[in-house]
Structure 1
Amino acid sequence: MAPAQVTGGREGEGVPAGMFVKEVPFEIEEREVDESVTEPDSASVLGSEGDNEDAVAGGAEGPLLIIEEQDNVDDEDFMKDIPPGSLDTLFDPRLDLPRYKAPGIDLLNDYKDKIYKVPNEELERNNRKIVKTLSDYKISVERIYARTGPTVTLYEIVPSAGVRISQIKRLEDDIALSLAARGVRIIAPIPGTNAVGIEVANSKPSVVPMKSLLEEPKFRNADYDLPVVIGRTISNEPMMFDLAKMPHLLVAGATGQGKSVGLNAIITSLLYTKHPSEMKMVLIDPKKVELSLYSKIEKHFLAKLPDSDDAIITDTQKVVYTLKSLTIEMDARYDLLKIAHVRTVKEYNEKFLSRRLNPLKGHRYMHYIVVVIDEYADLLMTAGREIEEPIVRLAQLARAIGIHLVIATQRPTANIITGLIKANFPARIAFRVISNIDSRTILETTGANQLVGRGDMLISVGGEITRVQCAFIDTPEVERITAFIGDQHGYSSAHYLPEYTGEEGENSGIGEVDLGRRDKLFDEAAKLVVQFQQGSTSLIQRRMNLGYNRAGRIMDQLEAAGIVGPSEGSKARQVYITDFNSLDKILSSLD
């Protein structure tokens, strides 16, 4: 049998495993399956998750399980209306918008006239200059290999035995002077190899079209929950990652170096790969112009507060309320995960899609929520701690329940990117910055100050830094994508986040409510609240297709009738009534 190949730090460099790994026998224990144990029917699976409320019918031997009849009434009423065999198929959230089509690749430009090949003369000239500069300082080289990329070329140098790495590292400025080139950066050594890397900017940098990245088979076949492709590496490989595993992303760089284009590349990757039922985005844009292009997809992909007019959040106070609303959603999701006995949103959705969680007990499909903040520094200047506290809390806890943050700032200083932020954002992207101090603030090392700009960036994932040329997507392309999505049939409105009324709403009472002049939909709303056991205005608004003000008045009437408790600010109201019999008595007494 041929020995297996163990791949080293770089692609294409394999080491025979037989050189240092001894083959050992490997067996898997096979267990006999007891076929006498019957599978629970689909009806019992739907209502039994973690609660043991349905007995398994059909001859399974064992101790008798006694269940109170009252606990089973709702499930039995629910089950009798379901057509036979309908629970045998998996739940599909995409059926919410069955005719939705993802944007086509033809909406993007290929920019063929802006893609250049580095001439061999330039490579050979730089090669000679590097060797001469090193030899001037008595540093001999065994081999040089040039690897061309869209913006920079990496010269991999294998120094002779006895040469110290620090000797080459100290010559960074001398090599840059000899080559008369910008963007010279020395990697000493290249991780996983015995070579030193010298990155030199190409005389004519090429554009990396977003279209070419989305067409890559490697990206199209990637099994990612939130797939993002953001550019090409020096070896012209697509730089892609799963945002769900990052789990949050910090983007920094000076003005005009490509941050907004990078955000567009991230958002475009998600729009091309996800269905509106699988992902929602919260777009926060204090500058008011960068993310406004995405307002057309409000009824497909965007989420906002129930009383908010604009889906793109620009007002600072609305930003604070939105972030605190997301913490409410986070806590609610964790409660559902606890009931379902799972640890992540992926495990929870697998259970829900296989119909092992009962929707009547509050369970629901959890879509991913991606929060994009375009200018974090401006928010900190205007709101301070009110902004940082919910962001840090989301960054610490929200990764397991499908809420992921992408934060961009043009001021990567220590008072903006604090220790709490850095600790919870392990994945970072640095575009060109002015000083090495800013580079250290973002990446914990220098290098971002030596980039050439115009999309040239360093991305740090797990402490490993990679130089990437960011994908380019122009404003007309984004407009075509959003128009294509916006013209399709969508939801009735943007996705509503849990309501958050703020400090004023926490202490305000309901005032005088005349139950003799109840809303016509009062009874229906009361049954809805009792059914879902969730005293939320946004629930009434969403399920009954009402405006926010009318739904709020109905909630005040429900409180006055003793069906729900008073407002608790950032939490949903407590529901006092737990069954429909008690509710019918209250409704009868009001008539």
Structure 2
Amino acid sequence: MDNTYDPKLDLSNYHYPPLYLLSVPATQLSLTVDVLESNKQKIIDTLAFNDVQIEQIKATIGPTLTLYEITPAAGSRVAKIRGLQADLGLYLAAQVRITGPIPGKGTMGIEIPHDKADLVAMRSVLATAKFQETFMDLPVSLGKTMDNSVYLVDLAAMPHLLIAGATGQGKSVCLNALICSLLYKKHPSELKFVLIDINKLELSPYRKIARHFLAALPDQADPVISNVAQAIDTLNALCIELDKRYDLLKDAGLRNIKEYNQKFINRKLSPQNGHRYLPFIVTVIDEFADLLAGETPINRLAQLGRPAGIHLVIATQRPSVKVITGNIKANFNSRLAFRVASHIDSRTILDAGGAEQLNGQGDMLLGTGTEIVHLQGAFMETAEVERICEFIGAQRGYPSPLLLPEFNSEPYANSTFDPNDRDPFFEDSARLIVLHQQGSASLIQRKLKLGYNRAGRIIDQLEAAGVVGPFEGSKARDVLFADEYSLELFLSGLNPDSTPAPPPVVIVPEPTVEEPVNIIKPIALSGPEVRPKGFWARLFNKNQ
């Protein structure tokens, strides 16, 4: 008799989504042999004209472009070949991109986009044996490489992913492909999602699978979070869950969630001692630029989340240094870049150029920290996502979403303000904020040299007291006092023993009438009269 614990027993009749829910891919168009040979000859002629000799050229047709691999002759300089990118683009009448040297091949790559790109259908990716037979913990199919091979990554090994690019280049489609890849491979007992969608539109279809795959706060009405304050609370609740999982790992003497769950399945960890089966938690944030105030819990989850099975996937359409900060880049080694507007934005995301030369429509570069891979993202229609969610949602699920630990970010918001329980720096902070007309915790940190937690508590007290307005995402809080005198009147009301300072008395002097002043006063000359001579004498006599 098998004495192991089965986490799937509660939903033993659960059926994984079938492939027929996805659209059948259209027949891919292929280039003619004449076009391939013509492009090969143009590349050879252009390189030869610039004194670059090649030994071999090979063409590989991809979904959106053709990769021409060239083997340079001995002594050829890579920098010189790279410098011919504009010349090749002019001769081929296309936006050419030169890559390489390609690792393990000793070749350079010349990418020429097709006039009409072929879509990489999600079904053509998930139906492959590579995806069906994988043993990855969290397999994600991002699409295909430029040689038409399926590209799989293990989110558990990445362990987090940053997605950035301009508007309309494929970020939301990529998020859907990532989520649906996991839905096709994982049981509800093995995986939970925390979905944060500030735009309120992109992730809404996943509400139907809330009782199967989502996690939420205890009193959360909508399982897909669209409120900024609630998103911050959820991230902090995940930090509490992170600490609890670390305590369980420490108590079990293990290093990661995979070893822990295997030991729990073998019944070597007792639930009577607080141990439980731990599902993976994947937090998906669409447009995390609206959560800049939540950067601290994001960084903590990114630093410590991998051993505990908590992984982050964050996306933004604003790839600037104010959004993708140094801390974010340090904690997110895997970064996915779609087409951006400038070379600077590409370097902000990948620490390298190239994203500004992408073709759009799912064309992307994946930076893994050691290499940059050119991919064409898998395409999913909204109707396909809805069919998958309806199929899962129609089955029996758990009574409720997975409940995260309760977290209340506003300890003073639900109670009356107690003046006797103020921080010693309360009044100094209030004066500082009114003086600068900027209600932010970072200002208090810098000027008063306080820690982040203490500054946050002071901001909460100032909000409860009515000095600053409520939290509004990435914007600074509104300051509700226009001048220092009105603030002093308010603070004196909190201190009954003190009296407000009188308003400054401005003494206006009475106007005085001054005597008119002659601009030119006659000057009395003493001594003999001096008469002009010569020309000046004649002029003087004429005027007499």
1:484 matched to 2:391? The reply is: yes
**What 5-or-longer segments of structure 2 have no aligned partner?**
417-544
RMSD over aligned Cα atoms:
1.4
Structure 1 stretch 404-413 or stretch 186-195: which is displaced more? 186-195
SS in structure 2 opposite 1:432? coil
Does the Cα contact within 8 Å between 2:232 and 2:291 map onto a contact in 1?
no
The amino acid that maps onto 1:161 is A
User: Equivalent residue for 2:361?
Assistant: 454
Alpha-carbon distance, 1:178 to partner: 1.3
1:234 matched to 2:137? The reply is: no
User: Equivalent residue for 2:44?
Assistant: 131
SS in structure 2 opposite 1:398? helix
1:100 matched to 2:14? The reply is: yes
Within 1, Cα distance between the matches of 2:6 and 2:195? 26
In structure 2, relative to structure 1, the CA distance for the partners of 1:296 and 1:507 (3 Å cut) is closer
1:298 matched to 2:210? The reply is: yes
The amino acid that maps onto 1:307 is D
User: Equivalent residue for 2:199?
Assistant: 287
Alpha-carbon distance, 1:453 to partner: 0.4
What does 1:212-291 correspond to in 2, within 5 Å? Answer: 212-291=124-203
**What 5-or-longer segments of structure 1 have no aligned partner?**
1-84, 510-591
1:433 matched to 2:346? The reply is: no
Within 1, Cα distance between the matches of 2:134 and 2:31? 30
Match 1:359 to one of 252, 271, 278: 271
The amino acid that maps onto 2:84 is L
User: Equivalent residue for 1:348?
Assistant: 260
User: Equivalent residue for 1:23?
Assistant: none
The amino acid that maps onto 2:315 is A
The amino acid that maps onto 2:33 is N
Alpha-carbon distance, 1:118 to partner: 2.1
User: Equivalent residue for 1:563?
Assistant: none
What TM-score do the two structures reach when normalised by structure 1? 0.69
User: Equivalent residue for 1:463?
Assistant: 370
Rg bigger for which structure? 2
User: Equivalent residue for 1:582?
Assistant: none
The amino acid that maps onto 2:263 is K
Structure 1 stretch 92-101 or stretch 313-322: which is displaced more? 92-101
What does 1:38-117 correspond to in 2, within 5 Å? Answer: 88-113=2-27, 115-117=28-30
Match 1:401 to one of 303, 308, 311: 308
What does 1:188-199 correspond to in 2, within 5 Å? Answer: 188-199=100-111
In structure 2, relative to structure 1, the CA distance for the partners of 1:508 and 1:351 (3 Å cut) is farther
Alpha-carbon distance, 1:188 to partner: 3.1
Alpha-carbon distance, 1:340 to partner: 0.2
Alpha-carbon distance, 1:414 to partner: 1.2
Within 1, Cα distance between the matches of 2:32 and 2:162? 36
What TM-score do the two structures reach when normalised by structure 2? 0.75
SS in structure 1 opposite 2:311? strand
Within 1, Cα distance between the matches of 2:86 and 2:318? 26
SS in structure 2 opposite 1:112? coil
Alpha-carbon distance, 1:216 to partner: 0.7
Within 2, Cα distance between the matches of 1:212 and 1:427? 25
SS in structure 2 opposite 1:197? strand
User: Equivalent residue for 2:230?
Assistant: 318
User: Equivalent residue for 1:65?
Assistant: none
User: Equivalent residue for 1:445?
Assistant: 352
1:336 matched to 2:336? The reply is: no
User: Equivalent residue for 1:308?
Assistant: 220
Within 1, Cα distance between the matches of 2:100 and 2:310? 37
Q: State, as a whole percentage, how many aligned pairs show the same letter.
A: 55
The amino acid that maps onto 1:428 is R
Q: How many residues align?
A: 416
Within 2, Cα distance between the matches of 1:324 and 1:357? 28
Alpha-carbon distance, 1:505 to partner: 6.3
The amino acid that maps onto 1:139 is V
User: Equivalent residue for 2:121?
Assistant: 209
Within 1, Cα distance between the matches of 2:53 and 2:118? 33
Alpha-carbon distance, 1:185 to partner: 1.4
The amino acid that maps onto 2:54 is V
User: Equivalent residue for 2:379?
Assistant: 472
The amino acid that maps onto 1:401 is A
Within 2, Cα distance between the matches of 1:323 and 1:412? 22
Deviations along 1:540-578, whole A, 9 cap, x unmatched? Answer: xxxxxxxxxxxxxxxxxxxxxxxxxxxxxxxxxxxxxxx
User: Equivalent residue for 2:73?
Assistant: 160
What does 1:384-395 correspond to in 2, within 5 Å? Answer: 384=293, 387-395=294-302
Within 2, Cα distance between the matches of 1:501 and 1:396? 23
